[in-house]
Amino acid sequence: MKLTLLLPALCSTAQGAMPDVLVGAPALARLLARADRHGVGEVIHPGIEHLLARHFLLDAASLPWGALGYWGETGQVAQGVVMRLDPVHLQLGMTEAIVHGGAALRLTLDEAQALAQALQAHFAASGWHIHVAAPERWYVCVDRAGNEVFDLQTTPLAQALGHDAGVFKPQGRDARRWLADINEAQMLLFAHPVNAAREARGLPIINSLWPWGAGDISQFVHCCEPGERAFAPMQYEVVYANNPLARGLAHALGWPVHDLPETFDECADLSVNALIVLDDLVQPLQDGDFEDWQATLEGLEARWFAPLRHALAQGSLSALQIDTGAARFVGKPTQRWRFWRTVKSLESLCSAARV
């Protein structure tokens, strides 16, 4: 049995923020140190869409992430154009508007639904249908006349967090219309009672929306038709993931999808080639909370990395591939005898190529 583990936001921290060794994760450190390394590239942003695209040799910018995420969230294929429409707080300065979003906003589900309902009513004539999958994760399905081509190039929210929103303005023929709609939505959000209540409690107000991943599922079907491109290094027979983008991509590729269990030992069927997506480190990194990142890593060590190392050493795994996006490690049972490969810093493990 061969197993592939996607582990975003591990190597993304390896630029001066990490200790000399993988503190609290000795099993992972030994796995990485003794494994063969392939496909080393630059440290990429922790957003999982870039790792998924790179792993399957796809172009992240051309994929309909909104439609794929909606499929992963609901198990249903949306008709027409879908995009993420995430609530954000723009911190206004003299010349810039810094983007804040995700769990750091501490937005409740009731607040999210109230804001989304107001937006839905206001933009009903524009064909908006908003689906609140989680407080910080919204989708908008847009009615489209006939076979009208939707032309909007956007930036994933994960890439824009902490940066000036103006640098990541939508591009394309439909960008002007969407920027006008977002400006109109900003006025509605500013006047909404939910924001007045949040401001009174000292919480950041939701003063804008972040559209990204626009497209329809036919874009994925077209770019990945059999014979057009070799989009996967291997064909998986089962996928374990909670991340909606990973689940949607698995659905689109026709692979069975299971919820990610708490531990490696709880995976129901590991007698086949499996893909496991562990994205627990992404949110702490996006929040800039290194203590939480370290605590999360230690939790993954006990529940995943130590059992995986044991399974590899015992030979119940014939191969373990760990893809961080910046480096890909391939472990095999015989590598446990590589005692001369000592544990190095995370930065050296992620950035220095090894033959």
> What pLDDT digit, counting tens, does each position of 216-229 carry?
887 776 555 544 44
Residue 290 lies in a domain: yes
Q: Rounded to whole angstroms, what are the CA distances from 178 to 14, 61, 85, 170, 228?
A: 36, 18, 11, 8, 32
Three-state DSSP class for residue 265: helix
Task: Determine the pLDDT at residue 211.
Answer: 95
The 10s digit of each residue's pLDDT in 155-207 is 999 889 999 999 999 999 989 999 999 999 999 999 999 999 999 999 999 99
Residue 320 lies in a domain: yes
Q: How many domains does the chain have?
A: 2
Residues 335 and 293 in one domain: yes
Q: Is residue 337 domain-resident?
A: yes
**Same domain as 153, residue 41:** no
Residue of 127 and 247 predicted with greater confidence: 247
Q: What are phi and psi of 133, to 5 degrees?
A: -80, -35
Mean pLDDT value of segment 127-137: 94
Range of the domain at 107: 67-217
pLDDT digits (tens, 9 = 90+) for 246-298: 999 999 888 899 999 999 988 876 777 889 999 998 888 888 788 888 899 99
Structural domain includes residue 283: yes
Residues 74 and 197 placed together within one structural domain of the fold = yes
Report if residue 225 sits inside a domain.
no
Q: Are residues 318 and 294 in the same domain?
A: yes
Task: Tell me which of 184, 217, 250 is where a domain ends.
Answer: 217
Helices (H) and strands (E) in the chain, counts: 13, 12
Choose the final residue of a domain: 191, 217, 243. 217
The residue from 183, 217, 251 where one domain ends is 217
Residue 74 confidence (pLDDT) = 93
Is the same domain home to 210 and 249? no
In a domain? residue 240: yes
* Whole-structure pTM value: 0.87
- Whether residue 337 sits in one domain with residue 282: yes
Look at the block and give the residue holding tokens 């076979």: 147
Phi, psi dihedral angles at 66 (to 5 degrees):
-60, -50
Residues 119, 185 within the same domain: yes
pLDDT, one tens digit per residue, over 318-345 is 889 998 887 888 888 877 667 656 666 6
Residue 209 and residue 236 share a domain: no
Half-sphere exposure in the Cβ direction for 2 (13 Å, CA): 12
Q: Which residues of 103-133 are buried (b: 16+ CB within 10 A; e: fewer)?
A: ebbebeeebbbbbbebbbeebeeeebebbbb
Above 70 in pLDDT, residue 239?
yes
Same domain, 32 and 122: no
Whether 184 and 45 share a structural domain: no
**Any domain includes 179:** yes
Task: Tell me what pLDDT residue 108 has.
Answer: 97
- Domain membership of residue 222 (yes or no) is no
Residue closest to 270 by CA, chosen among 240, 310, 309: 240
Judge if 39 and 155 occupy the same domain. Answer: no
309 and 167 in a common domain: no
Per residue in 23-56, pLDDT tens? 678 889 888 888 888 765 555 565 788 888 888 7
